[in-house]
Amino acid sequence: MTKQLSGPEVAQQIGEKFPDAITGSDETAVFVRSEALLEVARFIKESLDLDYLNSITAVDYIDYFELVYHLTSLENNHSIILKTKCDERENPIVPSVVSLWQGADFQEREIYDLMGISFEGHPNMKRIFLWDGFQGHPLRKDFTLDVPGGGKAT
Amino acid sequence: MEIEKPYVSSELDKAEGAEIEALIAASKEPYPDPVAWLDEEIKRNVLLTSTEHVIDWGKRYSVWPVLLGLACCAFEMVAAAASRFDFSRFGMEVFRFSPRQADLMLVAGTLTWKMAPALRRIYDQMAEPKWVIAMGTCTISGGCFRGSYSVVPGLNLIVPVDVYIPGCPPRPEGLIHGFMELHRKVLKDKLIKKEKDD
C-alpha cells in the first residue's frame, strides 16, 4: 500500500525553502498559493522523488476554483496531495506543470476545456473534447443550456 | 519525403468546429419518418406489381448493415450477429465497414455532436436504396443524456430514421424484431415513387 505522507510535515519542508508559499495543510494535503505552485512542485518533485503525477482535478466551489494534484513516488512508494486555489472567475490562470510531468498535458487541456482554467506555460492550450467554437465551459456550476443538446426539444 | 503543407492543428480545429456548428444550426427540425409504405395496396402500380414483388423480395434478403456501434448498444448488436441469435438467417450476415457497400445504417449508441458530421457523411455516401435503424434510447432521443451539452437529442435531427428500437439496451430479440419490421417496410417499397396526395 502506498504510504500517505503527512501534510504538515511536507508543508514544513516546503516552508523552510519558500516561507510565503504555504497557505495551510491537512492530514494528506498541502495547500499552496497558485503563484508559487510551479516552484513548490519542482522542489517537492526533487526532494521527495515524486516522479509520477496520478491526476489533476479541478473543483468548482463557486467562490473559487481548487486544483488538486495527486503526486506519487513510484521509487519510494509514497504519495502526497498538492492543492491550490484560484479566486479569479472570469479569466483564471494557473502555472502549468507540463515541464515537470508530461502526463499533465492532456489533463490540463481537459480542465481548460470543461472548467475554463488557463494554464500558463502549457505548450498547446486549447480544447480537447469539445469542438472549436463551443460557448462556455460545461463543468462549471453556473453553466446552463437554453435547449438540451443544443438542438430543438421535441 | 517532404510534406509541402505543414501540419497546423489549429486550422483543422477551426474547420472541425465550423462543421459542427453548421450542423447544429441546420439540425433544428427532425426529419419526418418515411411513411410512404403505409399507403393502401390499391394505390400501387398494378402493372409493376409482380416485378416489384420479386425485386423487393431480393432486397429484403440482402440487407447489409454498416457498422456504427457508437456506445454500449453495440454489444447487443454484436450478440445479435453471433451464433446464438445469428441474424445471418435473414441475409444480413456481412457487416460492411464501407458505406458504399451497405444498405442499412445500424446506429447503436449515444450520438454526440462531435460524431454527428461523420455519421451524416457515412449516410450521404451510402447508395440508394438505404435505410436507417435507431437502436436504443440514447440514439432515439438522447435518453438520459438528453439534457447534456454534447449529445444529439434524437437521431432524426441528423438523418431520416426508418425503424426505432427502444430499450437500454434492447435485447437481441428486440433488434431482430426491428429487422422484421424493416423487412415489412422493404417489401412494401415501390419502384416508382408517387407524388403525395396532399
Structural domains in chain B, sorted by start: 66-190 (3.40.50.12280)
The predicted model gives A126-144 an average pLDDT of 86
Q: What is the pLDDT of residue B44?
A: 55
pLDDT tens digits, one per residue of B71-103 = 899 999 889 888 898 888 888 878 888 889 888
Residues of chain B with Cβ-Cβ distance to A129 below 8 Å are 114, 150
Q: What is the pLDDT of residue B41?
A: 55
Where are the domains positioned within chain A?
3-142
- On the CB side of A86, how many CA atoms lie within 13 Å of its CA? 22
Residue of B nearest to A152 (CA): B28
pLDDT at A127 over 90: no
Residue of B nearest to A149 (CA): B149
pLDDT at A4 over 80: yes
Residue of A nearest to B112 (CA): A149
CA distance A141 to chain B (A): 14
pLDDT at A22 over 80: yes
Q: pLDDT-based confidence at A153, cuts 50/70/90?
A: very low
The predicted model gives A99-111 an average pLDDT of 90
Rounded to two decimals, what is the model's pTM?
0.79
Contact A148 B27 (CB under 8 A): no
C-alpha cell at A112: 481548460
Q: Which of B10, B18, B153 sits opposite A151 (nearest CB)?
A: B153
CA distance B188 to chain A (A): 29
Residue of B nearest to A137 (CA): B149
Instruction: Give the angle subtended at the CA of A125 by the CAs of A120 and A127, to the nearest 5°.
Output: 140
Regarding the domain with residue range A3-142, which homologous superfamily does it belong to in the CATH classification?
A: NADH:ubiquinone oxidoreductase Nqo5 subunit (3.30.460.80)
pLDDT tens digits, one per residue of A53-78 = 999 999 999 899 999 999 999 989 99
User: In chain B, which ranges are continuous DSSP H helix?
Assistant: 9-26, 49-60, 73-81, 116-125, 137-141, 172-187
Cell 398494378 locates to B46
Rg of chain A in Å (alpha carbons)? 17
Q: What is the pLDDT of residue A15?
A: 86
CA distance A142 to chain B (A): 13
Residues of chain B with Cβ-Cβ distance to A145 below 8 Å are 147, 149
* A103-108: long-range pairs with CB below 8 Å, 24+: A103/A52, A103/A53, A104/A53, A104/A56, A107/A55, A107/A56, A108/A56
Distances from the Cα of B45 to the Cα of B38, B102, B130, B188, B191, angstroms = 15, 28, 22, 12, 9
Q: Which of residues 116-135 of A touch B (CB under 8 A)?
A: 126-127, 129-134
Contact A131 B30 (CB under 8 A): no
Q: What ipTM describes this predicted complex? A: 0.75
Q: What is the pLDDT of residue B192?
A: 58
Q: What is the pLDDT of residue B190?
A: 65
Ranges of residues in chain B whose predicted pLDDT is under 70: 1-8, 35-49, 189-198
Distance between CA atoms of residues B132 and B94, nearest Å: 16
Q: What share of chain B is helix, strand, coil (3-state, %, to 5)?
A: 45, 10, 45
The predicted model gives A28-51 an average pLDDT of 90
- B151–chain A Cβ distance below 8 A for any pair: yes
Distance between CA atoms of residues A122 and A38, nearest Å: 12
Residues of chain A with Cβ-Cβ distance to B154 below 8 Å are 151, 154
Distances from the Cα of A107 to the Cα of A51, A71, A93, B111, B141, angstroms = 17, 14, 15, 24, 31
